[in-house]
């Protein structure tokens, strides 16, 4: 309700020329900043109800920059100060700097301030005594790094126009899934086992996180705190000294293919990679082809699969987490293809056989899933790859596969694989298209 009242103008700043709040300035650090920053980057609409900025450090130049960027809109800015303890030094410093800017602009900070903190903390008492716009509680049992689904993350998200009810539904679904005692149906347990195996159970290797989606740029930073603060321990539960944990870093694909992938492929083997793959490239009906049969998203998909294959060829381990789309909650859906002449539904094994590549069934599965998510194939029945049936466009029925790539049997044209890779990417399926080398 508070967010609705702010967006509608029912709650408004006293000196705003617009007559309502138009900006958010979030002051917090660590778990009080990383989650809200990640969600804002990943889910905020192109034209949010309120635009958000962050002060997440005690760097004077950085603070000055954020305040200067607001300019005259400081009078229309809702300042959210977030600190579980209510006494975090960096957050306190940021608050004092912002209050100074308000005084110099002749504005009353209390009329534009919101506190998110534990009840009766120093910050809570300050906000209560000074009469800030609102105070929201943080609970002792909620850790800072896991507080995104509390007021810490939900309030900034709601103010930007993100549907927090959908976020909570998705979180509830994940709560249920992660409590499943059947291992194959518990995604958290499966991922934990993969990380445990890849790091020899003691964090002997670093984890490189590579999401192939611009809006997931900050996911590696968010995951960095979540993993390293949770697993970086000197002692285990039995009191034995273990000094273990997993070092996490990363950026985004395919940007990093022009940065540190060279070392990952040929340098010191002290890491494993967690790829994040998002199947849906654009909202339905908004995609277009750069060349006949080839989209920009096909390139991105090809870069991911090519990088993954190149690392595998050099015995570098990787894990791939695949989601259908970036949404408030991710649901499995059946996709309809606009194929002119659909052929009979095939199992994954049958598709691999048709391509004469049963040994590359995993790659073919990934290609088909990308097609289905972007309305270029049809999952006719079933959700799991072991039971799903796939309908393909008739033009694909003559497509074959060899270690050199896909080729069209009727036209005898070999489609060269990306960057000399021995495995294909989605771009290479399109009939008659030659990918440039280099």
Residue 89: CATH number of its domain: 3.40.50.10490
* 253, 210 Cβ separation under 8 angstroms: yes
Is position 26 within any domain?
yes
Is position 238 within any domain?
no
Tens-digit pLDDT profile for residues 216-275? 999 999 999 999 999 999 998 899 999 999 999 998 988 887 888 889 999 999 999 999
Interhelix angle 34-43/151-159, rounded to 10 degrees, is: 30
Last residue of a domain, one of 118, 133, 162: 162
Is position 156 within any domain?
yes
Q: What is the pLDDT of residue 396?
A: 41
For 331, the domain range is 327-438
pTM confidence score:
0.80
Is position 233 within any domain?
no
Residue 327: pLDDT band with limits 50, 70, 90: low
Question: Cα(421)–Cα(262) distance, rounded to whole angstroms?
Answer: 14
Structural tokens at position 359: 């040994």
Is position 83 within any domain?
yes
Structural tokens at position 357: 């590549």
Structural domain total, the chain: 2
Tens-digit pLDDT profile for residues 164-206? 999 898 888 888 888 988 888 888 899 999 999 999 888 999 9
Tens-digit pLDDT profile for residues 18-52? 899 999 999 999 999 999 999 999 999 999 999 99
Sheet holding 378-381, edge to edge: 346-347, 389-391, 378-381
Is position 288 within any domain?
no
Question: How far from each other are the two terminal CA atoms of the chain, in whole angstroms?
Answer: 55
Last residue of a domain, one of 109, 127, 162: 162
Last residue of a domain, one of 95, 130, 162: 162
CB neighbours (10 Å) of residue 268? 8
């Amino acid at each position: 309700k508070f967010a609705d009242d702010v967006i509608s103008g029912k709650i408004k700043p006293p000196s705003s020329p617009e007559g309502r709040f138009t900006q958010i300035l979030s002051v917090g650090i660590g778990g009080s900043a990383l989650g809200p920053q990640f969600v804002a980057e990943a889910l905020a609409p192109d034209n949010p109800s309120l635009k958000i900025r962050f002060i997440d450090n005690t760097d004077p130049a950085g603070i000055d920059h954020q305040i200067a960027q607001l300019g005259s809109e400081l009078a229309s800015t809702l300042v959210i100060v977030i600190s579980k303890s209510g006494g975090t030094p960096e957050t306190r410093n940021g608050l004092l700097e912002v209050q100074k800017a308000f005084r110099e602009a002749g504005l009353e900070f209390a009329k534009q301030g919101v506190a998110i903190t534990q009840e009766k903390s120093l910050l809570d008492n300050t906000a209560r005594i000074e009469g800030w716009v609102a105070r929201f509680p943080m609970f002792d049992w909620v850790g800072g790094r896991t507080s995104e689904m509390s007021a810490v993350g939900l309030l900034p998200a709601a103010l930007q126009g993100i549907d927090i009810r959908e976020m909570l539904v998705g979180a509830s679904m994940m709560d249920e899934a992660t409590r499943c005692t059947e291992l194959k149906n518990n995604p958290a347990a499966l991922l934990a086992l993969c990380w445990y195996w890849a790091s020899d159970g003691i964090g002997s290797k670093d984890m490189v996180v590579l999401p192939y989606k611009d809006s997931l740029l900050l996911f590696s930073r968010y995951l960095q705190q979540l993993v390293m603060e949770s697993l970086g321990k000197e002692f285990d539960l039995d009191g034995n000294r273990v000094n273990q944990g997993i070092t996490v870093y990363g950026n985004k694909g395919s940007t990093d293919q022009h940065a540190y992938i060279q070392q990952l492929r040929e340098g010191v083997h002290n890491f494993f990679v967690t790829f994040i793959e998002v199947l849906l490239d654009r909202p339905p009906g908004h995609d277009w082809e750069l060349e006949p049969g080839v989209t920009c998203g096909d390139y991105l998909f090809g870069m991911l699969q090519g990088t993954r294959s190149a690392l595998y060829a050099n015995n570098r381990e990787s894990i791939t987490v695949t989601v259908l789309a970036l949404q408030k909650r991710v649901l499995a859906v059946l996709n309809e293809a606009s194929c002119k002449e659909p052929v009979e539904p095939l199992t994954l094994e049958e598709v691999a056989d048709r391509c004469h590549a049963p040994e590359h069934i995993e790659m073919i599965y990934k290609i088909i899933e990308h097609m289905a998510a972007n309305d270029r194939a049809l999952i006719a029945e079933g959700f799991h790859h072991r039971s799903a049936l796939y309908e393909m466009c008739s033009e694909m029925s003559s497509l074959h596969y060899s270690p050199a790539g896909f080729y069209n049997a009727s036209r005898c044209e070999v489609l060269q694989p990306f960057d000399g890779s021995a495995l294909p990417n989605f771009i290479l399926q399109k009939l008659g298209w030659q990918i440039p080398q280099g």
